[in-house]
A = this chain, B = another copy of it.
Amino acid sequence: MQAVVYNGPRDVVVKDVPDPKIERPNDVLVRITSTNICGSDLHMYEGRTDFERGRVFGHENLGEVIEVGGAVDRIKVGDMVCVPFNVACGFCRNCERGLTAFCLTTNPDPNVAGAAYGFADMGPYNGGQANYLRVPYADFNCLRLPDDAREKEHDYVMVADIFPTGWHATELAGVEAGDSVVIYGSGPVGLMAAYSAILKDARTVMVVDRHPDRLRLAESIGAIPIDDSKGSPIDQVLALTNGKGADKGCECVGYQAHDPQGHEHPNMTLNNLVRSVKFAGGIGVVGVFVANDPGAPDTLGKQGEIVFDWGLLWFKGQHFGTGQCNVKAYNRHLRDLIHVGKARPSFIVSHKLPLNEAPEAYKHFDARDFGWTKVILKPNQS
């Protein structure tokens, strides 16, 4: 089959790789019809992780089941399914608590909890930017889609990762109806976090970034765009919240945060959040941070350490939640909101491209080129 393969920093190629097959009785095979490029793919694309050359990208996958293993009870050939980016077993101590992002079974590295498709440090699983994908523990991992699966496919594919991840940011922060919320980052995840806060009936949702196309999308769903190239985002947030700061905050950028001049500061959004959120407020961090960043510009960065305003954080009594999203905690509900027409996350999609245009798409998305907000690849489209 054809697949998007990592070939080194800023270099992906579409080439032939062996077809996946049923390896264990709980597996199914999915023929991929939509698979997104994710902002976290870009960390790997830029060579800022230890993702191995030759591996297939793609952890936001949707498609049709074409084969099922002998122990699969619930999922049937022909089902349209959205596949959470986490590979989880369903029966370990963490999975049974709903912590599927920290599965203790599926990552062969005994020092790591959690696995994902086509992801650095997250196990040997190939990604779905390809014609086919093998899904382990399929009864547990596959989300079946209703009869409008094809019609709303570009909404449903967002349920594999970024819609639940944006929702997770608001859950980690503790967003509830009536809150004021500040989101750092208006990439796809930041927009989904803003959209989630709005669905949860937050009073005020502020989105900090500087790309006009993305800020305009934030504004289009009812958020207040804050351009940090026009002045301190902290000051702008304080001005909108009676000088007190937002009730809750979300970090949707990660360790490659840049200032408006283009310089990287891995601590920038975190320290801004401490100052932008009120005393006793909550902060959810879903932007990716890594423990090893060989490509970092300095020694601290290489070890994943940051200079952090801990004193102020503690004095303000804030709490932080972090980490990858447990997609299964939210994906049924978000699917249902799409089904009944109460959510339409595809508003962020800018491009739907055949698989062989992936190299160009990666280049433009990585450059944050104007208008490239979210790309869906269509591997099996004629």
Contacts and interface: CB of A to CB of B under 8 A. Distances in A.
B309 A291 contact: yes
A270 B310 contact: yes
B280 A94 contact: yes
B101 A98 contact: no
A74 B105 contact: yes
Contact of A291 (B96, B290, B311): B311
A195 B376 CA distance: 36
Nearest to A335: B178
Contacts of A332: 93, 178
Q: Report the copy number of this chain in the oligomer.
A: 4
Nearest to A71: B71
Given A110-B243, A203-B337, A337-B177, A304 B309 contact: yes
A77 to B, nearest CB: 18
Interface stretch (A11-19, A317-325, A345-353, A360-368): A317-325
A236 interface: no
Contacts of A93: 332
Interface in A51-77: 69-71, 73-74
A216 interface: no
A243 B292 CA distance: 20
A261 B382 CA distance: 62
A308 to B, nearest CB: 4
A342 interface: yes
The secondary structure that dominates the A interface is loop
Contacts of A285: 314
Contacts of A34: none
B97 A337 contact: no
B309 A201 contact: no
B289 A73 contact: no
Interface residues of A, number: 86
A288 B305 contact: no
A79 B101 CA distance: 27
Interface string A224-257: 0000000000000000000100000000000100
Given A102-B317, A289-B314, A289-B315, A300 B305 contact: no
Among A114, A121, A267, A304, max chain B CB count under 10 A is at A304
Interface in A289-342: 289-293, 300, 303-324, 328, 332-334, 336-337, 339-340, 342
Contacts of A153: none
A330 to B, nearest CB: 8
A200 to B, nearest CB: 7
Contact of A319 (B98, B321, B328): B321
B177 A199 contact: yes
A291 B312 contact: yes
A310 B306 CA distance: 6
A248 B183 CA distance: 28
Interface in A180-227: 199-201, 203-204
A139 interface: yes
A73 B304 contact: no
Query: Which 5 residue pairs of A and B lie closest in terms of their CB atoms, listed nearest first?
Result: A304-B311, A317-B323, A178-B333, A71-B71, A289-B314
